[in-house]
Copies of this chain bind each other. A is one copy, B any other.
Amino acid sequence: MAKVFQKSKALSDAKFHYCPGCTHGIIHRLVAEVLEELEVMDRAVGIASVGCSVLTYKYFNVDMIQAAHGRAPAVATGVKRVHPDSVVFSYQGDGDLAAIGTTEIVHAAARGENISIIFVNNAIYGMTGGQMAPTTLVGQKCTTTGPGGRERSHAGNPLRVSEMLSTIDGSAYIARVSLHNPGHINKAKKAIKTAFEVQLQGKGFSMVEVLSTCPTNWGMTPVAAMQWLKDNMLPQFPLGEFKKLAEVG
């Protein structure tokens, strides 16, 4: 018998600190496997953002930089401009990327910055305890929405980041994937791999938005959270490749 599935070398020995069933762990694994398969571990530089995944710098077996809340794309830009041959990625939550970090992500895309973004959309601020995120669904209850959940007339609409960034000329690859079952997890990995390949080909900005769960702050079991993602997030956040430059292989 052969091992057909084992932990990637691009993951360190540190145990994840995430809540039971939190999909951050799945995404870590996918990114690590892609880094290993593309053989770029020794020139990869990852940017950890501020959110539950702030400690990613402990989990990836590559050089890592912890960035201020929302500023990972700017930090990634700094790294990439100094070492154009490095493989630079950021790992950001929806509060980090789609709220405070909007300017930085939009302009990294507009510059066609040759970096890859892993965007974890779990429709909530996980780390700070369940406040409303820009991606929170209308009606979804959070600690700052009041008992009725997000009200469209008061707090507006969930931001569809992939659609927005696709309109920007510098973006080369934009995809939205989901983790709600093993099949989609495999697709998510394919998209992440494409994103890194786009970077390796020097095509410009790539981002994969990963629909994820936060069982703790959604107040559900991990299994129920997967179902909730499927039932509620997919309609608001359709999956697909929103942008793929013709030349992207």
Docked Cα-Cα span, A197 to B100, in Å, equals 31
> Smallest Cβ distance from A236 to chain B, in angstroms?
10
With a cutoff of 8 Å between Cβ atoms, the chain B residues found around residue A113 in the complex are 156
The segment from A29-37, A163-171, A182-190 that touches chain B is A163-171
B168/A159 in contact, CB under 8 A:
yes
The segment from A104-112, A120-128, A139-147 that touches chain B is A104-112
Residue from A99, A113, A134, A168 having most chain B Cβ neighbours under 10 A? A168
Residue among B112, B156, B157 making CB contact with A156, cutoff 8 Å: B112
> Smallest Cβ distance from A186 to chain B, in angstroms?
28
Docked Cα-Cα span, A100 to B101, in Å, equals 11
With a cutoff of 8 Å between Cβ atoms, the chain B residues found around residue A106 in the complex are 102, 106, 159, 164
Docked Cα-Cα span, A129 to B153, in Å, equals 41
With a cutoff of 8 Å between Cβ atoms, the chain B residues found around residue A169 in the complex are 156-158, 160
A110/B157 in contact, CB under 8 A:
yes
A159/B110 in contact, CB under 8 A:
yes
With a cutoff of 8 Å between Cβ atoms, the chain B residues found around residue A103 in the complex are 99-103
Residue among B100, B107, B152 making CB contact with A134, cutoff 8 Å: B107
> Smallest Cβ distance from A50 to chain B, in angstroms?
15
A167/B167 in contact, CB under 8 A:
yes
> Smallest Cβ distance from A161 to chain B, in angstroms?
9
With a cutoff of 8 Å between Cβ atoms, the chain B residues found around residue A167 in the complex are 160, 163-164, 166-167
Q: Does A155 contact B (CB under 8 A)?
A: yes
With a cutoff of 8 Å between Cβ atoms, the chain B residues found around residue A101 in the complex are 103
Docked Cα-Cα span, A89 to B115, in Å, equals 37
Given A103-B100, A103-B103, A152-B112, decide whether A157 and B170 contact each other with a Cβ distance below 8 A.
yes
With a cutoff of 8 Å between Cβ atoms, the chain B residues found around residue A152 in the complex are 112
With a cutoff of 8 Å between Cβ atoms, the chain B residues found around residue A102 in the complex are 102-103, 106-107
B100/A156 in contact, CB under 8 A:
no
Residue among B99, B158, B164 making CB contact with A164, cutoff 8 Å: B164
> Smallest Cβ distance from A197 to chain B, in angstroms?
19
> Smallest Cβ distance from A72 to chain B, in angstroms?
14
13 A-B interface contacts by CB (under 8 A): A99-B107, A100-B103, A103-B103, A106-B159, A106-B164, A110-B156, A110-B158, A111-B155, A112-B152, A159-B168, A160-B169, A164-B164, A167-B167
